[in-house]
Amino acid sequence: MPEVTVDARGLQCPMPIIKLSQAISAATSGQLVELISTDRGSCTDVPAWTSDMGHVLKEQREENGEFHFLIQKA
């Protein structure tokens, strides 16, 4: 289960990535952070950012037009 959830629903680029980066910065190593976004661009932005930053994308799914991502901080 995620310990932190970032609700970026309704927000557009670049805000989902900005909010995610802030939540990851505040998290501790190994912690799981969930991001929920409605911006379709997140589907490519979040995996790119996550792997570039050395974190792990544990899960990515679409549910009722919302995109859910589960990221584990490195």
Partner 1 sequence: MTVPNLSAVPDEAPSAEQQPEREKMVIIAASGDLDKAWPVLILATTGAAYGMEVTVFFTFWGLGIIKKPDAGITGDDWRQKMLSVFNRGTTEHLGLSKLNFGGMGPKMMKDLADKHKVASVQELLELAQQMGVKLWPCQMTMTLMGMERDDLIDGLDVPAGAGAAISLMKQSTINLFI
Strands 66-72 and 32-37: antiparallel
Annotated catalytic residue within 13, 26, 48, 74: 13
Please give the residues from 24 up to 63 whose contact with partner 1 meets the rule CB under 8 A: 25, 29, 49, 52-54
CB of 64 to partner 1, least distance (A): 19
Chain centroid offset of residue 6 CA: 7
| 70 interacts with partner 1 by CB under 8 A | no
Active site residue 13: yes
Q: How many residues interact with partner 1 (rule CB under 8 A)?
A: 19
**If 0-12 CB within 10 Å is exposed, 13-18 middle and 19+ buried, where does residue 67 land?**
buried
Active site residues: 13
